[in-house]
């Protein structure tokens, strides 16, 4: 099968680029895949972080840089470049309505030329809503033949927005490109953590909906055995979080790395952790679980969106039933009251189910059935 794949790819940062790279590499084992990406993903004025680019990552798949998200002339040019590859199927990634005009125009042109269009949808609707989200997303969805969702929460959003949507549900594969785990003691020494501590990790972009403020408050309710590592780049003002940390009775046990974490640093953070905590106020799915499970680390997460699914109803971690600091603190205590080795054994058993091979096979079978 010949595929044209449009997404963020390196040198762009983030889970979308990482995911798409891993999937293309897997698909290329049996199929002819040409990758396409942005010349401009977000205008600098609209980007809340320090940089859109990871200068340490290499583009190992030769993605063609052609799509400018805010330049309509590039939208048709992108579709034409994708058509030149004579694909049987086009695969797109969709994660926010900002991209609907560009991606929808590309999708419509491809379909008019007889190419099936399949979109992997990370979020049908954003966590931080705008008045135009639903109308733009509906417009985009109508220009597709099928969708892949990674949680039932996203699949349900798709069916609500587009009742005729053809949706296949497949779980998020493991992010296995980070390499092997480190011995826990070694990882903790690298990060300046006590070897015998109970270590919690909050990892990834720091945004309001991710509930770091709730976790800081919850951490203040725990005893001296616990240490909290916060590792990730703030998107927006970090001042309020700093004030919460300074006011915390456990501030001496909070280890702050408020910056972009390069790929080479990731193994130390996850290998040092007893558990990853996702104190989210809202969610569809989280790529953080895909990193945690690669390193065999259980997850403690609030019961929002698709996170309960991603924890396999408690097989891979603790589901916190209420979005509150008290409930999160109780979930942490429950986790350490259990035998964490059982959760790690369960996670190891999921590796085949969460492989890129299985995801790629499912995608191809879905397109063939359309």
Q: What's the CA dihedral at 311, 317, 323, 328 to 10 degrees?
A: -170
SS3 256: strand
pLDDT of residue 53 exceeding 80, the answer is: no
> What average pLDDT score do residues 235-260 get?
92
CB-CB contact of 191 with 197 (8 Å):
no
Band (55; pLDDT cuts 50, 70, 90): low
Identify the pLDDT of residue 59: 58
| Structure confidence at residue 44 (pLDDT) | 64
pLDDT of residue 139: 97
Average pLDDT over residues 301-309: 91
Dihedral sign (CA 143, 90, 42, 175): positive
Query: Cα–Cα distance between 120 and 106 in angstroms, integer?
Result: 15
- Of 47 and 341, more confident: 341
Query: What pLDDT does residue 57 have?
Result: 57
Residue 103 phi, psi (nearest 5): -65, -40
- What is the rounded distance in angstroms from the CA atom of residue 87 to the CA atom of residue 116? 9
The string of pLDDT tens digits covering residues 117-171 is 999 999 998 877 788 899 999 999 999 999 999 999 999 999 999 999 999 999 9
Mean pLDDT of the chain: 93
CATH architecture of 2-173+355-368: 3-Layer(aba) Sandwich (3.40)
> Considering only the top CATH level, what class is 184-349?
alpha beta
Same CATH fold, 184-349 and 2-173+355-368?
A: yes
**Predicted pLDDT at 357:** 97
Confidence of residue 286 (pLDDT cuts 50, 70, 90): confident
User: Can you spell out the DSSP letters for 12-57?
Assistant: B-SHHHHHHHHHHHHHTTTSEEEEEEEEESS-GGG--SS-SB-TT-
Residues 6+ apart with CB under 8 A from 187: 181, 267, 268, 269, 270, 271, 272
- 50 vs 283, higher pLDDT: 283
In the chain, where are the structural domains located? 2-173+355-368, 184-349
Per-residue pLDDT, 18: 92
CA dist list (Å): 89 to 27, 100, 140, 179: 12, 19, 17, 31
Between CA 360 and CA 368, with CA 364 as vertex, the angle to 5 degrees is 170
The reported pLDDT for the residue numbered 264 is 92
* DSSP letter (8 states) at residue 234: B
What tokens were used for 324? 């509150």
Q: Residue 182 CA to chain centroid, in angstroms?
A: 23
Share of the chain above pLDDT 90, in %: 80
């Amino acid at each position: 099968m010949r595929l044209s794949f449009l997404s963020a790819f390196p040198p762009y940062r983030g889970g979308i680029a990482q995911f798409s790279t891993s999937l293309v590499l897997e698909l290329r084992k049996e199929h002819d895949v040409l990758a396409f990406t942005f010349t401009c993903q977000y205008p600098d004025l609209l980007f809340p972080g320090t940089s859109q680019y990871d200068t340490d990552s290499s583009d190992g798949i030769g993605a063609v840089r052609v799509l400018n998200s805010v330049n309509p002339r590039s939208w048709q040019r992108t579709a034409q470049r994708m058509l030149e590859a004579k694909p049987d199927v086009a695969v797109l990634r969709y994660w926010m309505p900002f991209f609907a005009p560009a991606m929808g125009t590309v999708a419509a042109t491809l379909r008019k030329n007889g190419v099936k269009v399949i979109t992997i949808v990370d979020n049908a609707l954003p966590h931080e809503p705008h008045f135009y989200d639903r109308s733009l997303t509906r417009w985009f969805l109508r220009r597709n033949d099928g969708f892949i969702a990674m949680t039932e929460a996203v699949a349900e959003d798709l069916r609500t927005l587009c009742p005729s949507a053809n949706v296949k549900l497949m779980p998020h594969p493991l992010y296995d490109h980070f390499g092997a785990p480190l011995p826990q003691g070694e990882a903790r020494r690298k990060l300046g953590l006590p070897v015998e501590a109970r270590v919690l990790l909050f990892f990834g972009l720091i945004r309001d909906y991710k509930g770091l403020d709730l976790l800081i408050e919850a951490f203040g309710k725990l005893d001296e055995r616990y240490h909290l590592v916060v590792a990730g780049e703030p998107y927006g003002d970090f001042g309020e979080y700093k004030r919460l940390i300074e006011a915390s009775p456990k501030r001496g046990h909070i280890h702050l790395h408020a910056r972009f974490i390069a790929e080479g640093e990731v193994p130390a953070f996850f290998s040092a952790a007893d558990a990853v905590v996702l104190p989210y106020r809202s969610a569809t799915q989280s790529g953080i679980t895909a990193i945690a499970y690669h390193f065999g680390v259980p997850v403690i997460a609030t019961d929002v969106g698709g996170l309960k699914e991603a924890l396999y109803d408690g097989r891979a971690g603790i589901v916190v039933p209420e979005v509150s600091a008290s409930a999160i603190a109780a979930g942490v205590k429950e986790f350490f009251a259990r035998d964490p080795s059982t959760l790690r054994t369960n996670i190891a058993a999921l590796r085949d189910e969460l492989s890129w091979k299985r995801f790629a096979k499912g995608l191809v079978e879905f397109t063939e059935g359309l």
